[in-house]
Structure 1
Amino acid sequence: MKALIRADASVELGMGHRVRCQALAHAFTQLGWHCHFVVDRRYEAFSASEDYLIDREEEGIALAKTADLMIVDHYGYSADAINALFEVQPALLVLDDMNDRGNFSAKWLLNPLNETYSTHVEHPLTGRQYALLRPEFLARSTQRQHCHASNQLLITLGGTDPLALTLPILQALKARGFPLNAIQVLLGAKANNAAAVKQFCDVNQIALEQGLSDVTPLMSRAKMAISAAGGTLFELAYFGVPTLFAQTADNQTRSLQQHVPLGWCDSVRFDSVGFDTVAPLEQAAQVACLVQRLEQKWHDKTWQQAARNIAQQCVDGRGAERVAKQVTHYFIHQQN
């Protein structure tokens, strides 16, 4: 059976859509599916050689007719656009975060948050049990219970770091006297402002990795993290890493609204203040707020232990497998 996945990635869009859909594609492939991404040609630099490139969304709709299953993880698709796609391909799986597009029709709806959708969605797959993690996370399942004896702060601002937050956070940590030898920076392969971050890390002897295909070793040994709040939220929860999240996009709002009250993480919002356009003093104030909250929790071992336990209860790493099995079961049932 053939599945097509409509998702894009870029510096502006980030890598989250692509990464979580890759996890989903792997799970479907394990069950015998053939999966291909459908990508806007403008974002070809972030595509793979086997992807289908399109110039207009109408081309994506035409391709959907040739597949057994169409998966859409794209904020550019309004409710009307999703309904139009559903008319030509009723075997439609929509990934969603914000639940703000109004009513639309789909065979399946996937959201790892607790949200309620209309009856136009036949099979809502909602809740933390559907969080999509890459297969390498399950491969390190035995390391979830490690003692977190390291004194390492992981800083990872997403695949592209769209607001270029890594450098000002590092500068603020240095200014506050945070031990630089305790910092591990993780940059995406196409991270914004990467050259300046590398230079700062070289001068200050801060550990840095970029473009890792497997990030699990760094996450599994982190004492705490400063992170963007996209799909990385579920990855850090899986390993039980207490985290200060820098919200860099509006679509991260609901996940933080549901996870921060649980007590394993905290957050500071950057996207709502236009961080990349406001005055330097305002930027510094936002970064300082994040760093100060980190300092408050860095030596609080009681809170950290409680946070680890809570976080690990949120995500078991089998979300993609659950989705692929449920969808595949539907097709098998239809054939019989």
Structure 2
Amino acid sequence: MRLYALAQAAQVFFDITFIYKTCSLPLLNKLHQANFNTQQIAAPLSTDELLPHAFTAIIVDDYDLTTDEWLELNQLTIFIVKLDDALDHQPIWADFVINPAPNVSLEEYRKRAPNATFCLGPEYTYLRKEFAAQDYIPIAERPNLLIALGGTDPKSLALPLSKAIIDALPEAHVCLLIGQVHQQQLVLEQLARQHSNFSIICNPPSVAQIMMQSGLAISAAGGTLGELSSQGVPTLALVTVDNQLPALGSPLNNSWYNAIDMRAFDCNQADSHINNDLLSKIKVDAVNLWHDKCLRQGMSDIARQLIDGLGCQRIIKKLIVNIQQKSEL
């Protein structure tokens, strides 16, 4: 979705094509509805499939791209952009590097990519257009508690977490936001029928609108955090996979969001002590925050000051300048 956000900002200046090895059908449908071109390519990536397009630039968002594939890309005479999360200290083979995290080091990045241009920090947060279009609603007027666990919910937290929050906060309306049919969809739908204060929202027209109605969120600590921040949603941020670890060490932790390391949660051990302890911590923190509207309003105010919704526009403007400069060399 961060590529989608960049594509929205770039489509005024470029023809956009999404190149993918694998992609979910709901996401492909979303891209086609927005009139973006798509093309599936083989794995491993080969320049033979990319050359006919004569791309001006390629923006890479792929944790699993191998060294050989990066070398293939560098054989092309195109401008290479990498979306990075500072998960390692390996060299970066790109002309342009983006990381909107608040605690990234320019000095460290220059060691990894000495000839690159950088867009670093929250002012470059990837947000789709819808997030700049919402009128702010004060926390006291937001009725919902939002659970958002990313596109795939790799820990299968949706069901146990929803159950825990429904029971702990019967006065809140708990909304589970999912981007596609969940692996536990039937059981979740049964839960929604049993509890009037629980609903499932699948692939809504506007995620921003859902977030603006939320007085508290329990969210995976990935790119969704930038979206929640822009809408001023106090958040319990769940670190479920290693690429979300920067949320734990960020200076913003315990400001507008509180991070919880959930990597030890094992969906195959439903009643383990570790699972129960982690769910109990989330439940206690959620209850305490929900009952303290003043604290949540303060968290919301901090969040809204960080991100203005123009990050993608800044990135694209800077990208165009750098492409032009490279073409003149």
Q: Shorter-chain TM-score category?
A: 0.7 to 0.9
Q: Hey, what does 1:38 align to over in structure 2? A: 19
C-alpha distance in structure 2 between counterparts of 1:329 and 1:53, whole Å: 29
Q: Hey, what does 2:120 align to over in structure 1? A: 126
Q: Hey, what does 1:249 align to over in structure 2? A: 241
Partners of 2:211 and 2:228 within 8 A in 1: yes
Which residue identity lines up with residue 137 of structure 1 in the other structure?
F
* Equivalent of residue 197 in structure 1, options 188, 191, 204: 188
Partners of 2:100 and 2:120 within 8 A in 1: yes
Alignment of 1:85-96 (within 5 A): 85-96=73-84
C-alpha distance in structure 2 between counterparts of 1:309 and 1:250, whole Å: 29
Q: Hey, what does 1:98 align to over in structure 2? A: 86
Q: Hey, what does 1:170 align to over in structure 2? A: 162
C-alpha distance in structure 2 between counterparts of 1:199 and 1:89, whole Å: 54
Partners of 1:99 and 1:115 within 8 A in 2: no
Alignment of 1:67-216 (within 5 A): 67-78=55-66, 81-113=69-101, 114-116=103-105, 117=109, 118=111, 119-140=113-134, 143-144=135-136, 146=138, 148-176=140-168, 178-179=169-170, 181-205=172-196, 206-216=198-208
* Equivalent of residue 227 in structure 2, options 209, 228, 235: 235
Q: Hey, what does 1:9 align to over in structure 2? A: none
Q: Percent identity?
A: 27
5+ residue gaps, structure 2: none
- The alpha carbon displacement at 1:209 in A equals 1.5
CA offsets per residue over residues 264-322 of structure 1, 9 Å max, x none?
11122222x15223452232222111111111222123321221111112211111111
Which residue identity lines up with residue 115 of structure 1 in the other structure?
V
C-alpha distance in structure 2 between counterparts of 1:80 and 1:59, whole Å: 10
What is the total number of aligned residue pairs between the two structures? 312
Cα gap change, 1:80 to 1:126, in 2 (>3 Å): farther
Q: Hey, what does 2:312 align to over in structure 1? A: 320
Cα gap change, 1:298 to 1:70, in 2 (>3 Å): same
C-alpha distance in structure 2 between counterparts of 1:315 and 1:260, whole Å: 13
C-alpha distance in structure 2 between counterparts of 1:110 and 1:132, whole Å: 10
- The alpha carbon displacement at 1:104 in A equals 1.9
C-alpha distance in structure 1 between counterparts of 2:316 and 2:252, whole Å: 29
CA offsets per residue over residues 26-84 of structure 1, 9 Å max, x none?
11102x201111111x4464535631111223335740672110110000124564344
C-alpha distance in structure 1 between counterparts of 2:117 and 2:140, whole Å: 39
Aligned residue for 1:190, secondary structure, equals coil
Partners of 2:47 and 2:76 within 8 A in 1: no
CA offsets per residue over residues 98-148 of structure 1, 9 Å max, x none?
3415112311000001323024342011100111011111122xx236454
Cα gap change, 1:246 to 1:79, in 2 (>3 Å): same
Partners of 1:103 and 1:120 within 8 A in 2: no
- The alpha carbon displacement at 1:216 in A equals 1.4
Normalising by the residue count of structure 1, what TM-score does the alignment of the two structures yield?
Answer: 0.84
5+ residue gaps, structure 1: 1-18
Cα gap change, 1:319 to 1:64, in 2 (>3 Å): farther
Q: Hey, what does 1:21 align to over in structure 2? A: 3
C-alpha distance in structure 1 between counterparts of 2:115 and 2:170, whole Å: 50
Normalising by the residue count of structure 2, what TM-score does the alignment of the two structures yield?
Answer: 0.86
C-alpha distance in structure 1 between counterparts of 2:180 and 2:24, whole Å: 15
Q: Hey, what does 2:28 align to over in structure 1? A: 47
CA offsets per residue over residues 209-237 of structure 1, 9 Å max, x none?
21213111111121111111111101110
